[in-house]
Chains A and B, each alone.
Chain A
Amino acid sequence: MTFIPGLGIAKGMALTLRRFFAPKATIQYPEVRPDMAVRFRGRLQLLYDEFGTLKCETCFQCAQACPVECIDMGGHDTKNRFYTHWGPAETYGERREESALRRSGRPVPDQAYVHFQPIDLVAVEEILEARDYDPGKMLPILEEVQAAYGYLPIAAIKHISHVTGAPYALVYGTATYYSHLSFERRARTVAVCRCTSCLLAGSGRIANAIGEGLWTKLAREPVGGVALEQLAAHIPGAASPLVTLDGKPQRDVTETSAAAWSRALAKKTVA
């Protein structure tokens, strides 16, 4: 009999006893954070393409899809100058708790978030009251809130979300989709028409030139008080290319004069 009864057990138990005194492999998160590999797929990381541009399109799909609602859109602008709440996705730890509360059926308590400017919510309450707190009427509610404040404050969206029970991502997704809703207060708006006739007449180049003068790009958040956006519909009868300032067509803006005109406008608006 070559096998000794109990030897296997003894060897096994000796091993575990050795292990008992050995240093432990547990990493005490969150005091100690593990060193993750570059291609680790378990974390939300934004990718860059070969030109160095962020691939994230802020399409909001990840935020809508996340069942825990821990993703929100925000970030720094490309020149790292300011924080914008409309940008590539990032995860908000506070959102997890909020959504966990909501999923447990309990009402979500009010929280003031540092990122968002608090506002007087009386107007929002009145609008919600008139619309019966119905999340099915979200677009009219948002339009009315924008009309009341002059822009769409994020704090208002947060309030709407946790009072009506509609997920914040959904309300935010609706607000970011429609171009007539804006999160920033706009002093003036320059709109460039991009219909086919205007594009033929060079409105794309005019838009770029105006953008340079205003330090922004078409449909990006404005730096100064002047926003550059695309005209929703060509004004019937107006000549191409069509550039409007606060809705009024500007006839003297051409490809050559657009940059200078926009720079003057920017200076005027700041002053």
Chain B
Amino acid sequence: MTNANVLPTPDKWPHLLLPAAGGAASRGEREAAGEAVVTREAGAGSEGPSAETVAGPPAVPTDLNAALDAGAFKGLTEAIRDMTAGEIVAALAGSGLRGRGGAGFPTSEKWRACALAQADRRYVVVNAYQADPAVFTDRVLLERNPYAVLEGAAIAAVAIGASDIVIGLRAEATEAIATLETAVREAEDAGYLGDDVLGSGRSLHVEVKPLQGAYMLGEETVLLKGIEGRRGQPEQQPPYPTTKGLYGKPTLVHNAQTFAVIPGIVTGGPGSYLDAGAKGGHGTVLVQISGSVANPGLAEVPLGTTIGEIVALAGGVSATHSVKALLVGGPSGGILPPDAMSTPYEFEALEAAGAYMGSGSIVVVDERSCLVDLASVLTRFCADQACGKTIPCRIGLRRLAEIGARICEGQPRGDEIERLTDLSADIVASRLCDHERRSTLPLLSLVRYFRDELDAHIVQSTCPAGICQSLAATPAGSVS
């Protein structure tokens, strides 16, 4: 099991993805209990938004029998035997499921496009490659709930008419790979995958493909390239992967979290999913909270929960420090002010605030950190991860990083902020993939929310947090 801290969440919150943290409130207790939690399916969630811990035989996540008892592969059976492809897609559309990869694209649209594309072969690709180096949500999901992901991918394959499923995940996630391979073997032995699934004559082959070596592999077209073994540079879309994806065939690419909830929608109906959520969002998402909090870890939160509630899950900021900013979206996310604690954690609201959901990372920054330095190194990081295909990314991000570095070193030019915003606007306007747009978010959100800190660096040549070495450090705590 990956050494990730899964935070306990209120019982009234739906537990669609991870097993319910019933009872045990702390990490230590749960470990002592030997991970005696049950792999659940959303089938039980149809009883209403309040989910309960279902008592069942203590199971290892890869135990197929325990999973079957809890309702695994019921959705697949229904999908193969009773439903047509159209009905499956309709159920999906009714549930309003949006992709959990970060962009929030309506899932059923992709399925429809893929099913309609003319081809002799289609693929389903599960994107479990978490590009953010410090977020482990997808691999935890795969370790604790592998059958949900497999079943979701299988239902997708049945709906669009594919027989090949590829799961792309990090090669560093060794436990997740082992778990997944065991799960695949068990499911094949039981007839839920492999040739002649459930006696229907269809075959569903699953390939677990560990990938490594590039940050960009999280982007869907780059992931496809990585699976094909080519240089990972994104492609112009359209043509979308649903028309021309892996090996040129129509491919359905979704995040692992998206696939994990599909069995529940199929068995429980679209309504079950619609009900599980809060304040306009549907379903849940896995979030990782880190930074200056008492108990950093990951949790499953309903979409629409406010950021403040999520931070509270992790124990909140310690008493000796105060929240200076919230970094939402990982290395290429936005730096939000403390007021953003009331922002609902949900696609549109975050975009409007100038952040991004992405891998589901929330980092709490306290007053000891310099935001300009942070934004500068984040932009540098994003620039270094650029695949190099387009000029705005390859050169523009580097220039942005240089602007940030100059500000931090106390050598700003006269028009740094104007240059920064112009350059960011150009990069966003001429981008090929979303990495370019998101990489401009750290510095742009600084300009939007933390103008005073920028001015302190540029105009007054001081670093309030005392981090930027070449600038006159003022004692931490005093605000200029």
Contacts and interface: CB of A to CB of B under 8 A. Distances in A.
B134 A138 contact: no
Interface in B1-60: 2-5
Which of A55, A178, A198 is most buried by chain B, counting CB atoms within 10 A of its CB?
Answer: A178
Nearest to B388: A59
B233 to A, nearest CB: 8
Interface string A190-211: 0001111111101010000000
A230 B374 CA distance: 17
A173 B231 contact: yes
B214 interface: yes
A107 interface: no
B133 A57 contact: no
A138 B373 CA distance: 40
Contact of B4 (A178, A204, A237): A237
B133 A177 contact: no
Interface in A138-194: 138-141, 170, 173-174, 177-181, 193-194
A196 B330 contact: yes
Interface string B209-240: 00011100000000000101111110000000
A179 to B, nearest CB: 5
B361 interface: yes
Given A177-B214, A200-B291, A232 B374 contact: no
Nearest to B363: A196
Contacts of B378: 196, 199
A195 B132 contact: yes
A57 B3 contact: no
Interface in A16-60: 55, 57-60
A141 B170 CA distance: 19
Given A138-B230, A139-B226, A236-B136, A230 B384 contact: yes
Contacts of B136: 236
A198 B173 CA distance: 19
Contacts of A59: 388-389, 394
Given A57-B395, A232-B133, A236-B4, A174 B229 contact: yes
Given A177-B387, A178-B212, A194-B381, A200 B363 contact: yes
Contact of B231 (A57, A170, A199, A200): A170
A197 B363 contact: yes
B198 interface: no
Interface in A104-128: none
Contacts of B71: none
A233 B229 contact: no
Q: Chain A contact residues (Cβ within 8 angstroms of B): what range?
A: 35 or more
B331 interface: yes
Interface residues of B, number: 46
B4 A196 contact: no
A200 B133 contact: no
A199 B381 contact: yes
Contacts of B107: none
Which of A180, A204, A230, A236 is most buried by chain B, counting CB atoms within 10 A of its CB?
Answer: A236
B377 interface: yes
Nearest to B140: A236
B327 interface: yes
B365 interface: yes
B351 interface: no
Interface in A43-88: 55, 57-61
Contacts of B133: 193-195, 231-234
Given A136-B228, A200-B363, A195 B331 contact: yes
Given A59-B394, A196-B363, A236-B3, A204 B229 contact: no
B110 interface: no
A248 interface: no
Contacts of A137: 229
Given A177-B214, A195-B331, A198-B134, A136 B229 contact: yes
A14 interface: no
A219 interface: yes
Lowest 7 CB-CB distances: which A-B pairs, in order?
Answer: A178-B213, A59-B388, A139-B229, A195-B134, A237-B3, A195-B133, A234-B134
18 contacts: A58-B388, A59-B388, A60-B388, A137-B229, A138-B230, A177-B213, A177-B214, A179-B214, A180-B213, A194-B381, A196-B290, A196-B331, A200-B291, A231-B133, A233-B130, A233-B133, A234-B134, A237-B5
Given A179-B213, A233-B133, 17 more contacts: A58-B388, A136-B228, A174-B229, A177-B231, A177-B232, A178-B212, A193-B133, A195-B132, A196-B134, A200-B363, A200-B369, A204-B373, A232-B213, A233-B134, A233-B173, A237-B3, A237-B5
Interface of B: 2-5, 130, 132-134, 136, 170, 172-173, 212-214, 226, 228-233, 290-291, 296, 327, 330-331, 361, 363, 365, 369, 373-374, 377-378, 380-381, 384, 387-389, 394-395, 398, 467
